[in-house]
Structure 1
Amino acid sequence: MGGEKMEEQQIREIFRRVLHGGLKEFKVRNSKVKALEPVPTHKKGAIAGFFSKASMAQDRGVVFTSLEGLEEKAARLSHWTPNVYNYLTYVEPQKKHLKGHQENNLSQLNTFVVDLDFKDAETAKKMQEKVFQVLTIADIFLPTLVLATDKGYHVYYVLDEPVYLKRHANQQLPALNAAKKIANNIKQYLQQKLFAVDVGCNNFGIFRIPHKDNVIFYEPWFTVNFAEIMTWSKEFTQREQKKTKTRIILRSNRVKGYLKQIKQPWFKSLLQVTDIRPGEGLGRHNTIFTLALACYSSEMAEQRCFDLLDEFNSRLKQPIENKDVVKSVHDAFSGRYSGASRAYIRELTSHWLSEDPKNKISPQNWYKHKKKRKDRIYSHQHEWEEDLLDLLNNQITADGFVCLSMRKIKEKMGISLASLDRVLKSLRENKKIFYRPGQGRKAAQIATVTTILKYLQKQKTMMTTQYHAYLKKWLDLIPKYKKDNLVHHSSVSLIDDTS
């Protein structure tokens, strides 16, 4: 496909891959082809589409219950909800404003989506190669679809099978809660490598819709197994908790009662910041929303909160629109949240405040730091594994494989050959690296999922059989699917818009 734009048929294939049969095939009314297909007996859901970012902000959109209806209007849409709801409807008879697109109304989870937001389109373009270096989660899970946005990218990690949400007798949705934890961990993991990850983005909300001119990467065989990524998520949580175990905030025995969030130093310090810039981690909207949540949890009156944050916004060098402040405060006081999240507070304070500890969390809480790695004599094996993966992922390759001798790796990492051998063995057993033995004096070659992804993303002329044989040999992804499906897809489903 080279640098050409995707065809309409390929966009329709993307819709089907993402939506996983969550919609009816044909419209109930005024369908042009409904008579050719029997009416499905199992329940189907609905998604929402929006014609612009402005209309999305006002909940002005269209309800779709069929792929036929979606495809008719898809070229005019800018955003959609790729995860399926039980139902969606309109607020008024004129059918302009939508309602029902809340998390507790989701019926089917199809994909995790990560929003990468840079300062501007030029910066996003310059960072594209870096983006593709970090999109592989833990060198295991690959993105299915990457879309270009105005100032960044929307990255889709599509599930191989949809997750159906069933409400238990206690009215809880355990699968949704698990998925939210996974989504947050994905964003946290990627943010450690790329500052542009919007960790405040709604996990299962509204995202860019695929168009012929905004798809820069698509590989239908790269899908994520929910059970496998949930296992990874649990392990990631455990690792992060170990890292911060001694930093877990303990309530001081000398202080009784709870110090309201608006009384804590981080809140007072954030209110004094004026240079919060868009396109850098948690920006102005997330800052105001977090401050509003702190006001809500501290039982401040909603009007008083708005007045406070309106003043805060007016002091910003680049303030947001007044309507966005109103919406943030209204959402914070909606009753859906209990208060400002500790993770968001840490992210905001670490990015926008100085490193002075008094600017962090309340001084009544005390914590002890464990030794930094540079101060320790020994490193943990998982740290060596991460070092090696980072080393390999940052190398230039001809075909996805890195040519480095064990001696060079040992020198670069400062590790003994015995330790390096254990690290390599562990990574190979977990299929995080792929190994080509050397011949004669030629050094062995090593690849990771990330280096292979970078290689494939740059390919323009690889034939179908060669391409999928490569994936099958090194990533072992193809056997999950029927071989006759291979002819259904184009020769190269990787798009690069630089041509």
Structure 2
Amino acid sequence: MQITNIYNLILKDGLRQTKFKNSHLRPLSSAEEGNKGAIFGFRTKANMTKARGVVLTSLEAVLENQDNFTHWTPNVYRYGTYSDDNRQFTKGHAEDNLRQINTFYIDFDITTTTEAMTSSDILTAAIDLGFMPTLILKSDKGYQVYFVLSEPAYVTAHSDFKVIKVAKAISQNLRQYFAQTLPVDLTCNHFGIARMPRTDNVEFFHKDYTYSFQEWLDWSMKQSELPFPSKKPNLTIITGTEGIKQIDEPWYQMLLNESNIRGAKALMGRNNVLFTLALANFSSGVSQGDCEVVLNEFNLGLDEPVTTSELLKLVSSAYSGKYEAASRDYITLLCRAWVDQKLKVSDLFVKQRWYKFKKKRSERQKSHLYEWKEDVMAYLEGFYETQDPFIQTTKKAIREELHIPERSLDRVLKALRAEQKIFFTIKAGRGGGIRIASVKAIILSLIQVKKERQEAYFANIARFFEDSLTYTKAVIEGVTHELKHVKQLSLFERDIG
């Protein structure tokens, strides 16, 4: 029954309910069902790449084949047909044939990273976003996440097919958001073929987590709200920098002078050029604001510029402190791909050494309070994917794990509790210690709790932290309300029984 609900929720009114011919369900006339569209199903990934599949025009046909297909097109097309007489190769899954957009979806490819990843990581990122996924599918190589629209967005010639352009921008912003922290495949088609929900791959489903196209549009437009200064200032260097800088090397100006850099050539594309230029600015001690100005001017001169929000995120990533200076080998590949294939290393680099000027946190005598807050929250993230995310330990153990002085840890804990990010209580004496949990971790665990057990779960939380039940519920529900687009209390209303 769940898989039927999933198909109905995704496909909306896009297909007929019953097959036009040979239906095993109650017969309906064509007139009764009206004009409907078509989708495409594929039995294997190999068949998908060859467009060897089946045209599906009814929910009945989808359900009959539900565990025979590995991939499908969840967004509905106006028609579907075959390109050969034997009716083996499908035709019609192109953007200009789209009838309606039902869902956005994102591929998370765990083969591209050495770090472990779970569906809880996706839910954690989604809570910060404010849009919860409707569906998470698990595959051998990763996850595919569906964000289903509450109502379909219809594609019409009257609007000059603008819905597709707008929806593609929303989809790209959504993927870029998750790509900040998770391994997202940014290359797959926005409204093409996706992994199909089956009885053996659904890891998470919540029918109430659907949002309107307007809600997504409002969110997407805010991703480009930060304007750049119109006038290019002189570059300012962070105090204390010295020595040789990457931005003084010939390769840097070579790339800046190129306008025909496009979002192609796999790892050698436009976004990687922008990121490498940003990394050169970071390692050279250029302030982030000045780097944004320089790269914005460069981006606007490209034949195919990225959006303002995308550029800001690339610069922010380069300045996150996770990376050192740009790799010489990688720079050489980029310059040979976009400037001149015959370039030699001696043409690109004239200095023997580069220095990274920004002082690392490990080299500073003191950390900032916000950095210690981040350390504590990162420490608690390891407990997000358990249904019992409460930690009982000692403050000494946390101090030694995170290298935080005692008085500073006390300040951090009090600040995080005041911000309603954690619960904690201190138990003195023998067998005492600290009890602590992230509010976000508790919200994620509540998603997995049956509806009839949620009141008892609240009571257990209050008892564990020696708080009143009223206060405990107020904090958790208050954090939930702050999520921009999650419906009121919907996190606590799931019945998974």
TM range (shorter): 0.5 to 0.7
Choose the corresponding residue for 2:154, options 157, 161, 164: 164
- Give the aligned partner of residue 49 of structure 1: 41
Choose the corresponding residue for 2:80, options 88, 101, 106: 88
Partner amino acid for 1:213? Answer: D
The CA deviation at 1:223 is 2.6
Choose the corresponding residue for 2:186, options 174, 191, 199: 199
Asked whether 1:231 is paired with 2:218, we answer: yes
* SS at 1:56 equivalent: helix
- Give the aligned partner of residue 68 of structure 1: 60
Question: What does residue range 26-45 of structure 1 map to in structure 2 within 5 Å?
Answer: 26-35=18-27, 39-40=31-32, 42-45=34-37
Indicate how the Cα distance of structure 1 residues 384 and 13 shifts in structure 2: closer, same or farther if over 3 A, else same.
farther
Indicate how the Cα distance of structure 1 residues 81 and 356 shifts in structure 2: closer, same or farther if over 3 A, else same.
same
Counterpart CA distance in 2 for 1:42 and 1:93 is 28
Counterpart CA distance in 2 for 1:261 and 1:416 is 51
Conservation of the 8 A alpha-carbon contact between 1:147 and 1:217: yes
The CA deviation at 1:401 is 7.2
Counterpart CA distance in 1 for 2:215 and 2:373 is 20
Indicate how the Cα distance of structure 1 residues 422 and 456 shifts in structure 2: closer, same or farther if over 3 A, else same.
closer
The CA deviation at 1:70 is 0.8
The CA deviation at 1:79 is 0.2
Indicate how the Cα distance of structure 1 residues 415 and 439 shifts in structure 2: closer, same or farther if over 3 A, else same.
closer
Q: Percent identity?
A: 31
1:417-476: per-residue Cα shift (whole Å, max 9, x none)?
999999988x77xxxx6x8798999999775556522x257x4xx434335998997446
The CA deviation at 1:145 is 1.4
Counterpart CA distance in 2 for 1:470 and 1:159 is 31
The CA deviation at 1:241 is 7.1
Counterpart CA distance in 1 for 2:224 and 2:381 is 23
Counterpart CA distance in 2 for 1:480 and 1:38 is 42
Alpha-carbon RMSD: 5.5
Counterpart CA distance in 2 for 1:259 and 1:357 is 17
Conservation of the 8 A alpha-carbon contact between 2:80 and 2:90: yes
Indicate how the Cα distance of structure 1 residues 76 and 129 shifts in structure 2: closer, same or farther if over 3 A, else same.
closer
The CA deviation at 1:261 is 3.6
Choose the corresponding residue for 1:182, options 167, 170, 180: 170
Indicate how the Cα distance of structure 1 residues 390 and 229 shifts in structure 2: closer, same or farther if over 3 A, else same.
farther
Indicate how the Cα distance of structure 1 residues 74 and 129 shifts in structure 2: closer, same or farther if over 3 A, else same.
closer
Indicate how the Cα distance of structure 1 residues 30 and 112 shifts in structure 2: closer, same or farther if over 3 A, else same.
same
Partner amino acid for 1:18? Answer: I
* SS at 1:147 equivalent: strand
Choose the corresponding residue for 2:206, options 194, 214, 219: 219
1:22-48: per-residue Cα shift (whole Å, max 9, x none)?
211111111122426885455422111
* SS at 2:210 equivalent: coil
Query: Any unmatched runs of 5+ in structure 1?
Result: 1-8, 248-253, 271-285, 295-337, 364-370, 492-499
- Give the aligned partner of residue 106 of structure 1: 98
The CA deviation at 1:16 is 1.2
1:376-411: per-residue Cα shift (whole Å, max 9, x none)?
x999x9x99988976764556765678999xx99x9
Indicate how the Cα distance of structure 1 residues 372 and 95 shifts in structure 2: closer, same or farther if over 3 A, else same.
farther
* SS at 1:74 equivalent: coil
Asked whether 1:97 is paired with 2:89, we answer: yes
Indicate how the Cα distance of structure 1 residues 223 and 421 shifts in structure 2: closer, same or farther if over 3 A, else same.
farther
The CA deviation at 1:339 is 6.3
Counterpart CA distance in 2 for 1:465 and 1:39 is 45
Asked whether 1:59 is paired with 2:32, we answer: no
Partner amino acid for 2:80? Answer: L
Counterpart CA distance in 1 for 2:35 and 2:133 is 29
The CA deviation at 1:62 is 1.0
Counterpart CA distance in 2 for 1:207 and 1:144 is 15
Question: What does residue range 402-441 of structure 1 map to in structure 2 within 5 Å?
Answer: none
Conservation of the 8 A alpha-carbon contact between 1:116 and 1:152: yes
* SS at 1:30 equivalent: coil
Counterpart CA distance in 1 for 2:359 and 2:426 is 41
1:144-192: per-residue Cα shift (whole Å, max 9, x none)?
21112231111112222322223345x342x222221221122212121
The CA deviation at 1:201 is 1.4
Q: Give the number of the structure whose alpha-carbon radius of gyration is greater.
A: 2
Conservation of the 8 A alpha-carbon contact between 1:22 and 1:84: yes
Counterpart CA distance in 1 for 2:376 and 2:216 is 22
Indicate how the Cα distance of structure 1 residues 60 and 421 shifts in structure 2: closer, same or farther if over 3 A, else same.
same
Asked whether 1:23 is paired with 2:10, we answer: no
The CA deviation at 1:57 is 0.7
* SS at 2:66 equivalent: helix
Indicate how the Cα distance of structure 1 residues 357 and 212 shifts in structure 2: closer, same or farther if over 3 A, else same.
closer
Choose the corresponding residue for 1:452, options 443, 457, 469: 443
Indicate how the Cα distance of structure 1 residues 421 and 99 shifts in structure 2: closer, same or farther if over 3 A, else same.
farther
Choose the corresponding residue for 2:327, options 354, 360, 374: 354
Indicate how the Cα distance of structure 1 residues 206 and 357 shifts in structure 2: closer, same or farther if over 3 A, else same.
closer
Counterpart CA distance in 2 for 1:389 and 1:203 is 33
Conservation of the 8 A alpha-carbon contact between 1:47 and 1:84: yes
1:107-146: per-residue Cα shift (whole Å, max 9, x none)?
222221111112289x78x432663465416341222211
Indicate how the Cα distance of structure 1 residues 416 and 15 shifts in structure 2: closer, same or farther if over 3 A, else same.
same
Partner amino acid for 1:11? Answer: I
Conservation of the 8 A alpha-carbon contact between 1:27 and 1:34: no
Indicate how the Cα distance of structure 1 residues 480 and 456 shifts in structure 2: closer, same or farther if over 3 A, else same.
closer
Conservation of the 8 A alpha-carbon contact between 1:142 and 1:222: yes
Conservation of the 8 A alpha-carbon contact between 1:120 and 1:151: no
The CA deviation at 1:228 is 2.8
The CA deviation at 1:104 is 2.6
Partner amino acid for 1:15? Answer: Y
TM-score of the superposed pair, with normalisation by structure 2: 0.58
1:225-252: per-residue Cα shift (whole Å, max 9, x none)?
433333332233335979xx999xxxxx
The CA deviation at 1:258 is 8.0
TM-score of the superposed pair, with normalisation by structure 1: 0.58
Asked whether 1:127 is paired with 2:117, we answer: yes
